[in-house]
């Protein structure tokens, strides 16, 4: 059932209105221009100026020589970096980003990473705790293109991202319901491995994802945890927005990339969610998975046909004896081999 009578020409903009034309600018300048006008998010990759402080004037001066107006915006950001920016009413997705220096120096200790996609069954290296649970206020959708893992630049695959629920409610989505909780897992990264894991995640999640943080609610009802999360927001170039479920399933069925078949990602996510809790299902994921299985059965002429998909580890596999990859290099080689 559709929640709206028509689909806007650009689903990720209110009212379907096209954004005004601008002169070509670098990705970094576009990111800061967005922040300057809306005040609630700084996009990643984090530009070098965010790694500077005001007393590191040589680096700032170098930037200012090429673009003085850009420096003004940068200084404004730096002067307010100690406080969390207030959400702007002008922006429907009200997410907050964690600057790189904040990530590397938070409490001088470890940090927690929230995974809602392949991170559930393909964990990062160097974690020492894995906790199932959920975040609220978001909707999980296969609305992010993947050119580097489950597709190619010529034929991008589709992977999961999170949509701010208040923004999603304004869209036309054939899957017009979504659970209040987006289930996933939180990983604790050891303090001495934070920088290494961050570099690994930047490579793994580079295709349109930006760093944000959100409260994570453990399934055991313990205290919420502030977690870092990679999200493909509606203003990134790889965000594709709502699509007919059957067309989306057909696209996933035919896509593959350096990390493997797109169907392995989809069905792996479905299996991984089933492992977390009897309540952790996602109707969007389940419906797409059923449609893909039907396509495979039709293609192979058998209702018993099943796609090849690597089974995710069970919850018991993440005990203290769980065999984790020992390094970023080993982790990357493992992912490409699967």
Same domain, 326 and 196: yes
Same domain, 162 and 188: yes
Cβ-count burial 228-264 (b if 16+ within 10 Å, e if not): bbbbbbbbbebbbbbbebeebbebbbebbbebbbbbb
Q: Lowest mean pLDDT of 31-40, 117-126, 140-149, 172-181, name the range.
A: 31-40
Average pLDDT of span 199-223? 85
Cα distance between the two ends of the chain: 37
Domain CATH number, residue 280:
3.10.490.10
Q: Which of 85 and 148 is assigned the larger pLDDT?
A: 148
pLDDT at 200: 82
Task: Give the closest residue to 75 by CA, choosing from 59, 58, 60.
Answer: 60
User: Looking at residue 239, what DSSP letter applies?
Assistant: B
pLDDT at 190: 86
| Residue 276 located in a structural domain | yes
pLDDT at 289: 97
| Residue 258 located in a structural domain | yes
Q: Which of 49 and 267 is assigned the larger pLDDT?
A: 267
Q: Which of 289 and 315 is assigned the larger pLDDT?
A: 289
Q: Which of 42 and 312 is assigned the larger pLDDT?
A: 312
Same domain, 183 and 327: yes
pLDDT tens-digit map of 130-156: 999 999 999 999 999 998 889 999 999
Q: What is the dihedral angle through the alpha carbons of 95, 214, 134, 122, rounded to the nearest 10 degrees?
A: 90
User: Residue 223, preceding bond cis, omega within 30 degrees?
Assistant: no
Which domain-ending residue is among 42, 72, 90?
90
Same domain, 39 and 157: no
Looking at the predicted structure, is the pLDDT value of residue 318 above 70? no
Q: Which of 284 and 18 is assigned the larger pLDDT?
A: 284
Q: For residue 79, give the 3-state DSSP assignment.
A: helix
Catalytic residues: 205
Q: Which of 166 and 85 is assigned the larger pLDDT?
A: 166
| Residue 12 located in a structural domain | no
Same domain, 197 and 267: yes
Q: Which of 230 and 305 is assigned the larger pLDDT?
A: 230
* 60 close to 52: Cβ distance less than 8 angstroms: yes
| Residue 235 located in a structural domain | yes
The alpha helices in the chain, defined as continuous H runs, are 27-38, 57-66, 68-79, 100-105, 165-168, 194-204, 245-254, 262-276, 283-300, 328-337
- Which tokens in the block code for residue 236? 């990134």
Looking at the predicted structure, is the pLDDT value of residue 106 above 60? no
Same domain, 60 and 103: no
Structural domain harbouring 152:
92-331
pLDDT at 279: 93
Looking at the predicted structure, is the pLDDT value of residue 197 above 50? yes
Q: Which of 232 and 38 is assigned the larger pLDDT?
A: 232
pLDDT tens-digit map of 239-287: 999 999 999 999 999 999 999 999 999 999 999 999 999 999 999 999 9
pLDDT at 198: 80
Structure confidence at residue 181 as a pLDDT band (50, 70, 90): very high
pLDDT at 183: 98
Same domain, 210 and 292: yes
Q: What percent of the chain lies above the pLDDT cut of 70? A: 56
pLDDT at 269: 97
Of 59-63, 105-109, 253-257, the range with the highest mean pLDDT is: 253-257
State how far the alpha carbon of 285 is from the alpha carbons of 2, 39, 42, 223, 262, in Å: 18, 33, 30, 28, 13
Count of structural domains within the chain: 2
Structure confidence at residue 206 as a pLDDT band (50, 70, 90): low
Task: Give the closest residue to 43 by CA, choosing from 300, 285, 237.
Answer: 237
Same domain, 74 and 132: no
Structure confidence at residue 111 as a pLDDT band (50, 70, 90): confident
């Amino acid at each position: 059932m559709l929640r709206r009578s028509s689909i806007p020409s650009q689903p990720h903009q209110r009212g379907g209105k096209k954004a005004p034309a601008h002169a070509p600018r670098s990705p970094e300048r576009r990111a800061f221009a967005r922040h300057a006008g809306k005040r609630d998010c700084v996009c990643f990759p984090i530009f070098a100026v965010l790694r500077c402080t005001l007393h590191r004037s040589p680096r700032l001066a170098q930037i200012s020589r090429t673009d003085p107006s850009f420096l003004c915006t940068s200084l404004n950001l730096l002067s307010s970096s100690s406080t969390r920016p207030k959400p702007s009413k002008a922006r429907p997705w009200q997410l907050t980003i964690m600057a790189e220096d904040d990530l590397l120096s938070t409490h001088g200790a470890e940090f927690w990473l929230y995974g809602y996609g392949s991170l559930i069954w393909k964990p990062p290296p160097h974690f020492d705790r894995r906790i199932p649970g959920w975040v609220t206020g978001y909707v999980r959708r296969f609305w992010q293109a993947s050119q580097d893992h489950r597709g190619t630049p010529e034929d991008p695959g589709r992977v999961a991202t999170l949509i701010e629920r208040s923004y999603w409610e304004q869209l036309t989505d054939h899957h017009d319901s979504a659970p209040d909780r987006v289930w996933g897992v939180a990983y604790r990264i050891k303090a001495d491995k934070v920088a290494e894991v961050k570099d690994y995640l930047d490579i793994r999640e580079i295709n349109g994802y930006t760093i944000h943080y959100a409260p994570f609610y453990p399934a055991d009802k313990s205290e919420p945890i502030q977690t870092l999360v990679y999200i493909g927001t509606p203003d990134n170039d790889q965000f594709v927005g709502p699509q007919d479920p059957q067309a989306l399933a057909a696209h996933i069925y035919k896509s593959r990339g350096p990390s493997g078949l797109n169907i392995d990602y989809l069905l792996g996510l479905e299996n991984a969610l089933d492992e977390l809790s009897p309540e952790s299902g996602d109707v969007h994921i389940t419906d797409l998975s059923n449609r893909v299985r039907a396509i495979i059965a039709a293609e192979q002429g058998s209702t018993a046909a099943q796609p090849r998909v690597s089974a995710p580890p069970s919850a018991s596999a993440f005990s203290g004896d769980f065999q984790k990859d020992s390094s970023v290099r080993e982790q990357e080689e493992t992912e490409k081999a699967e």
